[in-house]
Structure 1
Amino acid sequence: MTEHGTSAGVPRWVKVSGLIAAVLALLVVAVMLINGGEHGPGRHMSSGLSTPLVDVDERGRQLG
């Protein structure tokens, strides 16, 4: 005879934890897609830089 209340399967808390992790992962992907991929170091730079990133002369030519 089998005992009642015992199970050889995966515990319920593991299933629930996996489901929550999967939902959170899908939520993160959805937010990244909706955001338009605006992430990375370029996001932290202003669009109107006051100083150039390279040295240029008065004609706009790159120096040395």
Structure 2
Amino acid sequence: MSSGNDYPGMPRWVKISGIVAAVLILLVAMIVVFDIGGPHGPGRHMSPDSEMPPAGDRP
């Protein structure tokens, strides 16, 4: 007879995947909160002396 407690538990790969996912979410949250990534947007990849025209002035 079994004692009704035959379930072996959560597989190891599920535990490891959960830990990795939690660490990645924590890392992304820290990057957002502490603004480590710097400014984002189209102006990030342009030289500082170039100027973007306003969106309404496109031909």
**Number of residues of Structure 1 aligned to a counterpart in Structure 2:** 53
Higher relative helix content? 2
Cα distance in 1 for residues equivalent to 2:16 and 2:28 = 18
Other-structure match for 1:10: 10
CA change 1:7–1:20 in 2 (3 A) is same
Larger Rg: 1
Could you state the TM-score of these two structures normalised by the residue count of structure 2? 0.53
Other-structure match for 2:40: 39
Mark the runs of 5 or more structure 1 residues left unpaired by the alignment: 55-61
RMSD: 3.3
